[in-house]
C-alpha cells in the first residue's frame, strides 16, 4: 500500500473523495439510541444527538456491518469500541473544532457566493493513502482506520476529538475527466495536539506537516461521488478569474456533515501554486 504524503500545498497531494452514503467519522458519531431503535435501521437525517454511555457496542457494530454490506465493505469486530467511543464522546456539533483559517477575499454574483479565498497556516494532519478494489471501498476503509487513530490507536491512549472538515485529496487527469482510485483521507489534529501529535499505532497512517497554503473554495451541497466532484471542479474553474494560478491536477474535497444527509455541506478546494 502506498503511504505517500498528502500535503495540502501547491505541490499537490493524493487521493479521491467519497461516494454517496459512505461510512465516515461523521456517520459514526451522528447516531442516537432513538435512531437505532427506529425500525431496526435508524435515520441518517437526524444529527447532533448522543448515545447513552451504556449503549451496547455490539448493537452499534451490527448496525454498521449491515450498512457497510450494501457498499461491499466489511466492518471488522474490532471497530465496536471506536464506534462506541466516537458516539459517546460527542455531544452534538458544538464541540467539534473547526480548522482555523484567515479569509482573504470573497467573490459574489447577484448575492450568490462564487468562491472564497482563504489562508490556512501550516499544521499537523493524520493521513492515510489507500487503494482498494473500488473507489468506495478505499474511502470507507481509509475513514475507519483514521477513526481508530482518533479513538484509541494512538500514543496518547485516549480519544483525541473531532475536527472539521475531514478532507480527501483528489487527483485527476489533465482534462479533469477521471479521478484516481488512490485515496488519501486526512484529519486535522486538534489544537491541543498540534505541538506534540500523538503517534498512530497503524504504520500506514502518517503524521504530516502541511505547509501554509492559500486555497480557493466553493461550497456545494449533496452527496460526494466521482460525478459530482468532477462537476464541482469544472464549476469552480469557470468562476475563478485566473484558474491558472491553481494546481491543475490535485484538489481537495472537504466534508462538514454526514454524507448520507440530504443537504450535506461540502466544499471543493483549489490549491494556489507555490
pLDDT at 224: 76
Check whether 130 has a pLDDT greater than 90: no
Element spanning 230, H or E: helix 226-239
Q: What's the whole-number mean pLDDT along residues 214-241?
A: 90
Element spanning 216, H or E: strand 213-221
Q: What's the whole-number mean pLDDT along residues 23-30?
A: 46
pLDDT at 5: 55
Q: What's the whole-number mean pLDDT along residues 133-160?
A: 85
Angstrom CA distances, 50 to 79, 90, 146, 259, stand at 18, 7, 21, 18
Instruction: Select the more confidently predicted residue: 110 or 21.
Output: 110
Q: Which domains does the chain carry? A: 96-272 (3.20.80.10)
pLDDT at 85: 74
**Highest-pLDDT range among 1-5, 17-21, 197-201, 243-247:** 197-201
Query: pLDDT band for position 274 (50/70/90)?
Result: confident
Cβ burial of 244 (10 Å; 0-12, 13-18, 19+) is exposed
Rounded distance, CA 148 to CA 151, Å?
5
Amino acid at each position: 500500500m502506498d503511504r505517500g504524503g498528502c500535503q495540502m500545498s501547491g505541490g499537490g497531494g493524493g487521493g479521491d473523495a467519497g461516494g454517496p452514503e459512505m461510512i465516515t467519522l461523521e456517520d459514526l458519531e451522528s447516531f442516537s439510541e432513538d435512531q437505532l431503535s427506529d425500525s431496526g435501521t435508524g435515520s441518517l437525517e437526524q444529527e447532533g444527538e448522543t448515545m447513552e454511555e451504556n449503549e451496547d457496542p455490539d448493537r452499534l457494530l451490527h448496525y454498521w456491518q449491515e450498512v457497510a454490506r450494501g457498499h461491499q465493505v466489511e466492518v471488522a469486530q474490532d471497530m465496536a469500541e471506536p464506534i462506541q467511543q466516537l458516539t459517546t464522546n460527542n455531544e452534538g456539533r458544538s464541540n467539534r473544532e473547526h480548522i482555523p483559517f484567515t479569509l482573504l477575499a470573497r467573490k459574489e454574483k447577484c448575492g450568490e457566493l462564487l468562491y472564497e479565498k482563504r489562508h490556512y497556516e501550516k499544521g499537523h494532519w493524520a493521513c492515510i493513502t489507500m487503494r482498494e478494489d473500488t473507489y468506495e471501498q478505499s474511502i470507507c476503509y481509509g475513514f475507519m482506520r483514521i477513526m481508530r487513530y482518533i479513538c484509541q490507536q494512538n500514543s496518547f491512549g485516549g480519544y483525541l476529538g473531532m475536527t472539521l472538515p475531514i478532507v480527501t485529496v483528489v487527483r485527476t487527469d489533465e482534462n479533469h475527466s477521471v479521478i484516481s482510485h488512490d485515496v488519501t483521507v486526512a484529519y486535522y489534529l486538534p489544537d491541543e495536539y498540534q505541538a506534540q501529535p500523538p503517534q498512530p499505532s497503524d504504520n500506514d497512517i502518517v503524521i504530516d506537516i502541511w505547509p501554509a497554503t492559500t486555497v480557493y473554495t466553493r461550497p456545494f451541497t449533496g452527496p460526494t461521488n466521482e460525478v459530482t466532484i468532477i462537476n464541482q471542479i469544472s464549476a469552480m474553474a469557470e468562476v475563478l478569474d485566473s484558474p491558472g494560478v491553481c494546481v491543475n491536477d490535485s484538489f481537495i474535497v472537504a466534508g462538514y456533515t454526514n454524507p448520507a444527509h440530504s443537504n450535506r455541506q461540502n466544499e471543493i478546494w483549489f490549491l494556489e501554486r507555490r
